[in-house]
């Protein structure tokens, strides 16, 4: 059957009507493998038009610290699941402690991440800030490390207390990483 009239077109639901969905991540770790979960998910949430915050605390604060964010390390010490990519074989824990092994493991992991076309941490943080993600440093951690706003990358909006975080995350889905 032919028709000359334009038939109704299905238009995807991009959820453009205002949503009050809000996600807050707490990034508490600074090992290379553990900084990506919150960054990747925050970036995905922003791409879905969701209000997204990340609260960086303890070693997670290294992610937004100018001096440190490009030098995060990976070790499999204490990670009994560690196996080479795609292999059923456990890396001996003792090996992780050998001098230089953290450097080697970090290099390998960075390569795998780059192969997936996923940016390194500084670029990832910048991307999230550019996409409208709101970044917060933890006051207690900043005081412990002796950090001030100048020590953090652009895009960090402030140093806030635990109470401030609890207030700003009202009604949000909170994810601890």
72 vs 91, beta carbon nearer another protein: 72
Q: Which stretch binds another protein (CB under 8 A): 40-48, 67-75, 85-93, 145-153?
A: 40-48
x/- site string to another protein, residues 41 to 60, per CB under 8 A?
A: --xx--xxx-----------
Nearer to another protein, 117 or 150 (CB): 117
Q: Please, which residues bridge with residue 173 across strands?
A: 23
By the rule CB under 8 A, 146 interacts with another protein:
no
Closer to another protein by CB, 10 or 89: give it.
10
Asked if 11 is part of the footprint of another protein (rule: CB under 8 A), the reply reads yes
Task: Lay out the site mask for another protein across 106-135 (x = CB under 8 A, - = otherwise).
Answer: ----------xxxx----x--x--xxx---
Residues that bind another protein (CB under 8 A): 3, 5-16, 40, 43-44, 47-49, 116-119, 124, 127, 130-132
């Amino acid at each position: 059957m032919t028709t000359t009239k334009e038939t109704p077109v299905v238009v995807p639901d991009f959820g453009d009507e205002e949503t009050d969905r809000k996600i807050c991540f707490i990034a508490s770790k600074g090992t290379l493998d553990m900084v990506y979960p919150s960054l990747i998910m925050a970036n995905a949430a922003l791409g879905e038009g969701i209000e997204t915050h990340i609260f960086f605390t303890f070693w997670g604060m290294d992610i937004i610290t100018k001096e440190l964010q490009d030098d995060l390390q990976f070790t499999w010490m204490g990670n009994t699941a560690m196996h080479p990519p795609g292999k059923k074989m456990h890396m001996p824990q003792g090996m992780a402690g050998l001098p230089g092994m953290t450097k080697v493991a970090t290099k390998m992991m960075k390569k795998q991440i780059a192969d997936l076309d996923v940016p390194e941490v500084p670029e990832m943080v910048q991307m999230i800030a550019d996409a409208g993600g709101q970044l917060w440093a933890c006051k207690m951690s900043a005081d412990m490390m002796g950090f001030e706003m100048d020590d953090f990358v652009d895009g960090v909006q402030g140093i806030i207390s635990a109470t401030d975080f609890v207030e700003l995350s009202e009604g949000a889905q909170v994810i601890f990483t």
